[in-house]
Amino acid sequence: MQASQNAQCLHCLCPTMPRAHTVPPRPYHHGNLRQALIEATLALAEETGIEQVSLREVAKRVGVSSGAPFRHFADKRALMTAIAEEATRQLRLMVERDQHACSGTAADRLKALGHSFLAWATGHPTQFRLVSNRALFDFAASPSLAGHFAVVRELTVQLVEQAQREGALPASQQAAELALALRGSAYGLARMAVDGQLPQWNVASSDQAAVLRRSLDLIVDAMTRATPSTPRP
């Protein structure tokens, strides 16, 4: 009965991952320049790669003077930081929503957390690539970025600690290291998908979302099944 409930929980938590698509920036209207610049940056990044984007090209895409972006962003790095802030906010909200919907074991919730990350990364590949490259934005100067990352990291550690108490993960291991192993596994799968490597592993594009979720589940299952089922005191 419990297994059935857990399966149902994970099924409702992890719908098919959205397919990435380019959304043309909305026409600029007075008073919405900041958002128009962000949308134009993302559109250009999907066409040329985020490293190739320049403020001059962004301004041209929006239809404003080359000096207009500086009203909102000191430089390209500041613009990229703003995009990274919004991207990590979206990840945090997705994680919190999916965790709220799940009432399974800690192992179930760790799977759901991984599914959330995979859905975010594959649904927003340009933002994922940006957030993965700290050289492109100013992480240290953004309390917002640090806060969003901290929420996801601390949730991962808390779920690992809960899994240790439930006897699903080894109590002898540092929770932070187990959490890092799980996050690294999810990140690696996401990176392979975003970089187009999955076809080399005979994964059809139509099956990628399901294969990614199953692969993540296999990793969590392997970690938990290798542990004696003796609850931690």
**Model pLDDT for residues 35-65, shown as the tens digit of each residue:** 999 999 999 999 999 999 999 999 999 999 9
Taking the C-alpha atoms of residue 9 and residue 95, their distance in angstroms, rounded to an integer, is 15
* Contact by Cβ (8 Å): 137, 80: yes
- Does the pLDDT at position 142 exceed 50? yes
Taking the C-alpha atoms of residue 168 and residue 162, their distance in angstroms, rounded to an integer, is 9
Taking the C-alpha atoms of residue 113 and residue 159, their distance in angstroms, rounded to an integer, is 10
Cβ-defined contacts of 149-153 (< 8 Å, 24+): 149/88, 151/92, 151/95, 151/96, 152/91, 152/92, 152/95, 152/113, 152/117, 153/179, 153/183
Helix (H), strand (E) at residue 184: helix 175-194
Label residue 229 by pLDDT band (50, 70, 90): very low
- Does the pLDDT at position 233 exceed 50? no
**What's this model's pTM, rounded to 2 decimal places?**
0.81
Taking the C-alpha atoms of residue 13 and residue 174, their distance in angstroms, rounded to an integer, is 28
Angle between helices 106-123 and 76-101 (to 10 degrees): 140
| Structural domain boundaries in the chain | 2-15+81-225
The pair of structure tokens assigned to 81 is 């930081």
Q: What CATH number should be reported for the domain whose range is 2-15+81-225? A: 1.10.357.10
